[in-house]
Chain A
Amino acid sequence: MDPKQMPTFEACSSMSSQSRNLNQNQRATEFDARETEQSLPKFSSHLDNSFHQSNQAQQVAMNWDPRAVLNSLDILGQKIHQIQDIVRSTLSNERQLSIQPNEFAAQQQLINTDLTCTIIELISTAGALLPLIKNALASGINSPGQIGGVANSASDLDLVDVLRQNDNLLSDGTKDSEYEELIKGLSDWDDEGMKPISTEDIDVKDNEDGVSGENLPLGSYEVLQLEKEEILAPHTHFCAICGKGFKRDANLRMHMRGHGDEYKSPSALAKPSKEGSSEPVPIKRYSCPFIGCKRNKEHKNFQPLKTILCVKNHYKRSHCDKSYTCRRCNSKKFSVMADLKTHEKHCGSNKWLCSCGTTFSRKDKLFGHIALFQGHTPALSMDEVKSQGMSVQGQSDEVMAKEEDIDYLISGNVIEDTNFSGLKGADDDLGYFSSMNFDSFTFGGIDGLQQPSFDTSESLFSFHK
């Protein structure tokens, strides 16, 4: 993609809820009134320009009915004016502090409905003549109800380069040319078979796997790298006034109410919704600060991380100590608390045990594991070994008492017996497959093969989760 387009994208992405400020100093500089004031006019100019843009496209594609389009555009214009009026009245009401909460909610509902209608109409109008930028237009319309969100997230803008680009944008007056570039960029995207960002499914939960299948061409996204301290910082949202840190921005917003009435406005309290950021956002990917890691941008086969959450989980899982130990089995360790909690949910119910010591809660998972690794076999459950061992032993003792002249316990059985007693001893403290006992677990001479599987512990973990 042409780097020149970047500013345009940045302008639209200022509402990105993904971007989180991690650095207090940066945030202090960003959080200034200029940004909040700027976002409103910027928005309206954006709207105008999207119409302008469709008019431009009219000249390109001639197989359409101009009169019908003009007609629908007129209607749309009227509608947007109506909505603007409603929003304005809301704002003025708010200043007078006379509005009831439910009344406000009703108004918000009204605006939302109106906007939805407008968007749909606009899509149907534009869709016929501009299939290429249909998605962009659909996402290009922003609801005034979300303006608060825009302001909010603008204040959240985190990274220096984004700021710089925003500054460039503001000084740049020639918006028409920008939009030409936008359209061109979009069509470029389509040529590359890329998904428009608005439909991109952001997998907040996890994780590295999600990215590896993405195969974004190098340079088609922006690589950001957080420092180790930022990644490991317990709080990611900080109060601009008192400096208190929070894990969630919602908590921060709640906290901000205490700093004055201006933070109590519905727009300030509203969640910076993701739909609000549905304008084309530049693809942002993250690099792990650990040099030599595959997720580090210096790596030859660099595979970027998708979200900041991914960065955090990846960094903790791969480059940090596993400090959380399962309190049930006392053997499994995790570096991410969520992983421990997931494990603890199933710990103890893992009755399917492989000879390598890995446990599974489902038989088919164990068998899949066995099919994958050479030499691994399912281990027989302890109860079974115990009961059978006991009965057979008792029986053979009885026989031996009768016929003493035969040395029955040939070496193979002795080995089994010692194993058996060792396991029995370890059984009490739930640690029968702890690393201490692996050596005595000789199921069919696979000792040599066990070791490699442990080296790839990362893949094993993801395997049995």
Chain B
Amino acid sequence: MERAQQQSSDSILATLSVDLLIQILDFVADPRDRKSWRQVCRGFLHAEALRRRSLRVLRREALQGLLRRYAACLERLDLSACPSLDDHALAAALAAGAGLWRLRSINLSRASGVGWRGLAALAKACPHLEAVDLSHCVGVGDREAAALATAAGLRDLWLDKCLGLTDVGLAKVAVGCPALEMLGIKWCLEISDIGIELLAKKCQNLRVLDISYLKITNRSLQFVSSLGKLEDLSMVGCSHIDDEGLQFLNNGSNSLQSVDVSRCENVTSSGLISVIEGHKYLQNLNIGDCFPELAPLFLSKLNDLRDSLTVLKLDGFQVFAPSLKIIGLNCRNLVEIGLSKCKWVTDEGVSELVAGCVNLMTIDLTCCHLLTNKALVAIGDKCKNLTCLQLESCKLITDKGLDCIGTCCSNLEEIDLTDCTMTNAAMKYLSRCSELMVLKLGLCDKISDEGLVHIASNCKKLRVLDLYRCFEVTDDGLAAIATGCKRIKNLNLCYCTRITDLGLKHLSCLEDLHDLELRGVHCITSLGITAIANGCQHLTELDLKHCHLVDDAGLFALGQYTKNLRQANLSYCQVSSMGLCNLLGSLKCLQDVKLVHLTQVPVEGFESALRASGGRLKKLKLLTGLRHLLSPGLIQMLQDRGCRIRWVDKPLNLVP
């Protein structure tokens, strides 16, 4: 068909100008269709290049050519999945792009090989850069921050877990990028009050600030409170901050819309009251795991926020029924409530809550052990808009409770029933929710193929299915799922020991499958893996731990077909050096691999396989014993390229 089009392309392009082509292209939404479009002819490719605004690069080899083609119009570039990206590659690609004049946003998250030279080149090549994400680049420090700071127009900057960043680097950014609006410096443990003080003085436009887990004190909050435009403040786990610090926020600026003080051990009700008093338009309040009990004064203060508050998270509190009643009365616009791990949440309390908050869409009741079906009936009765319900470990809930949910909450998109005593009947009720996208049934060992048939019959939109340790599930259930839920992306089949190669063959028709976990499914062989590799070519994560029958043949298939595979766990598999070398050598996207107890692979096998990986790996898990057997040069090379090696010391235990 393509050839036929190409032959007549002259005539089509004679009538269709580029702008018309672009207009047609706008109707092609699916990425796969777009791919077909690109392959039609040069004219189509050119039109697509003019239309494209964002690009996510999966292979380093392609980066240069892609940037050359798309440079002119590109606004957003995602390099977070690009393996072995280093300064050299980045600078070369940017040079090929010859000035990314429109590029506004770049994502370099986890690009651990990028250093200050690459960032300096980036800042120079992209004059209109506004957003940079460097989160989880643990090697990033002050030098890199200084290079970034030359991009004066920067508005959004995410530096989460840049462990080398100190006050000096933060000062560089604060001085160099005065227009900064969003800044994340979560886990940058070296940053202190002094840095925050300067930041607050220099970047008065900050709207979003994440200072979670920093060792900062109340003094920092004093300066943060001077940021008049601050809307979103996250300070999770800042244990040096207490009520005195929160009182600084009560300065009448009223700007804050979202506050997250969860895990701040020294914060109590009185501090939160001053926050509420200072910010009348607060929408989002997360106070999980701060202090054990809710003070009545705090609950009544919530009345001040009755119109604005939409999200309230109270994880880990002791929440009695009267408290929930007051919340129900005071926060009528609540859309989301988090009661995860709360003690003393009873049916009565939940009924009182939902009686007031009828707009609730997300309810998190994880580990509220006292709840029974009555609570679910109340929720189903009142919350017609419910989309997400988390019921993990609510052991007293039975199938009947879900009857009501399935009937009343037709918009339900996500439900977590992990570790609940559900049977196939519950699946029948849930199958009424045709919008269901996420279904978690881990540890529900009574669920069998029959239940999956129910789900497959109506939940066409299912994207995530978790069947962890559902022993009863067999190949037939998977066949039903594979035919009914074509769009499944994540599938967890760990320890579903009755599944065989036949089941995997059924699954191979799931084209969207990205993440497949087959840990401990010991019946499967390379045959099943080959089928999966053949059918699910978008697979990015695969867990084959304790699949003892999988051998080199499976790895060859994976190496040949699943070119996008990024994470693989091959521990305890019966693979040899040959298969391993082939896999690591041919998969250009592989970044995270676990290779514990590969009994058939000698040291030389590891050596050559890791060399074959060509420095693309970012995470590697190996037995401690290999540490001194592998050549130091190899380990040094891996670490220089940004690879973190985790050495584990586990006894060989063949039975999972």
Contacts and interface: CB of A to CB of B under 8 A. Distances in A.
Interface in B164-217: 167-168, 171-172, 175-176, 194-195, 197-198, 201-202
Interface residues of B, number: 32
B640 A395 contact: yes
Contacts of A251: none
A444 B175 contact: yes
A81 to B, nearest CB: 63
A298 to B, nearest CB: 40
A403 B120 CA distance: 21
A363 B116 CA distance: 23
B176 A385 contact: no
B88 A400 contact: yes
27 contacts: A363-B167, A364-B194, A367-B171, A367-B195, A371-B202, A377-B149, A377-B171, A377-B175, A377-B176, A378-B168, A378-B171, A384-B142, A384-B143, A388-B143, A392-B115, A395-B88, A395-B640, A403-B88, A406-B95, A408-B88, A408-B95, A410-B91, A410-B121, A410-B124, A413-B120, A444-B150, A444-B175
Contact of A408 (B91, B143, B172): B91
Interface in A365-396: 367, 370-371, 375-378, 380, 384-385, 388, 392, 395-396
B92 interface: yes
Contacts of A380: 142-143, 146, 168
Interface in B48-95: 86-88, 91-92, 95
Which 3 A-B pairs have CB atoms at the shortest separation, nearest pair first?
Answer: A406-B92, A399-B88, A377-B175
A278 B150 CA distance: 62
B92 A408 contact: yes
A114 interface: no
B117 interface: yes
Contacts of A364: 194
A416 interface: yes
Interface in B97-146: 115-117, 120-121, 123-125, 142-143, 146
Contact of B194 (A367, A407, A410, A444): A367
A234 interface: no
Nearest to B145: A380
B540 to A, nearest CB: 27
A41 interface: no
Interface string A341-377: 0000000000000000000000110010011000111
Given A367-B198, A371-B201, A410 B171 contact: no
Contact of B124 (A375, A384, A400, A412): A412
B588 to A, nearest CB: 16
Contacts of A392: 87, 115-117
Contacts, number: 85
Nearest to A391: B640
Contacts of B123: 412
Interface residues of A, number: 29
Contacts of B86: 395, 399
Contact of A370 (B91, B198, B640): B198
A416 B120 contact: yes
Given A388-B116, A399-B86, A412-B121, A367 B143 contact: no
A396 B143 contact: no
Nearest to A353: B168
A376 B202 CA distance: 11
A160 B194 CA distance: 55
Interface of B: 86-88, 91-92, 95, 115-117, 120-121, 123-125, 142-143, 146, 149-150, 167-168, 171-172, 175-176, 194-195, 197-198, 201-202, 640
A124 B150 CA distance: 71
A385 B149 contact: no
Nearest to A399: B88
Residue with the greatest number of chain A CB neighbours at <10 A, chosen from B92, B123, B168, B176: B168
B172 A378 contact: yes
Contacts of B640: 395
A410 B125 CA distance: 10
Nearest to A417: B117
B594 to A, nearest CB: 27
Nearest to A409: B91
Contacts of A400: 88
B142 A371 contact: no
B172 A377 contact: yes
Given A392-B115, A399-B86, A400-B88, A410 B168 contact: no
Given A410-B91, A410-B95, A413-B121, A370 B175 contact: yes
Contacts of B120: 412-413, 416
A408 B116 CA distance: 14
A364 B168 CA distance: 11
A129 B115 CA distance: 80
A411 B117 CA distance: 11
Contacts of A403: 88, 92
A358 to B, nearest CB: 14
A371 B86 CA distance: 34
A88 to B, nearest CB: 65
B636 to A, nearest CB: 11
A394 to B, nearest CB: 10
A399 B637 CA distance: 12
Contacts of A443: 146
B172 A396 contact: no
Contacts of A412: 120-121, 123-124
A412 B123 CA distance: 10
A368 to B, nearest CB: 9
Nearest to B92: A406
B59 to A, nearest CB: 16
Nearest to B171: A378
A371 B95 CA distance: 36
Contacts of B176: 377, 444
A378 B167 CA distance: 9
